[in-house]
Amino acid sequence: MKINKRKNNIIMSYTVTTKKCWYNDYRMIVKMFFLNDVPFTFDDLPVGYLYDREIVKEADNNKDYSVEDIYNGSNYLIMEQCHPCFDDIEILNPENLPEEIQSFYNGEEDLLR
C-alpha cells in the first residue's frame, strides 16, 4: 500500500471505486469503498441482497475482506493524511463516496469543522 499526497510539490488527486465484496469471513456482502485501491469503509446492502444472483456473483469474483483489512486500510489513509472521511483531499469522482460524506465534497457542508 502506498499513496503519496504530494509528488514533486503537486497535490495528488484520488479516485474512489466501489465493489460488492464478501466481508467478515463470508458472513455478509457489502459495498466496499476504495481510495486508489485501498479499502477504507463499507456500506451494508439492503435486506434480501443474497437473493440477487448478480450481487452474489460480483462478490464471488472479488477479493473477500476482513475487519482487519478495513482497519489497516483506513489506518494507513489516516496516517498518510488522505482519508476521505477525515482529510480534505482532491477526489476526482466524489459521487462514488459514501452518501454521508458526499455533501462535503460537493461543497454543501463543511464536515471538518
What pLDDT, in 10s, does the model give residues 2-22? 555 555 556 678 999 999 999
Q: How far is CA 80 from CA 11, 44, 76, 87, 98, in A?
A: 13, 26, 6, 10, 20
Q: Is 24 helix (H, G, I), strand (E, B) or coil?
A: coil
For the whole model, what pTM was predicted? 0.83
What's the pLDDT tens digit per position in 32-63? 999 999 999 999 999 899 999 999 999 999 99
Q: Which sign, positive or negative, has the C-alpha torsion 64, 42, 31, 106?
A: negative
Would you kindly state where each structural domain of the chain is located, as residue ranges?
Answer: 6-105
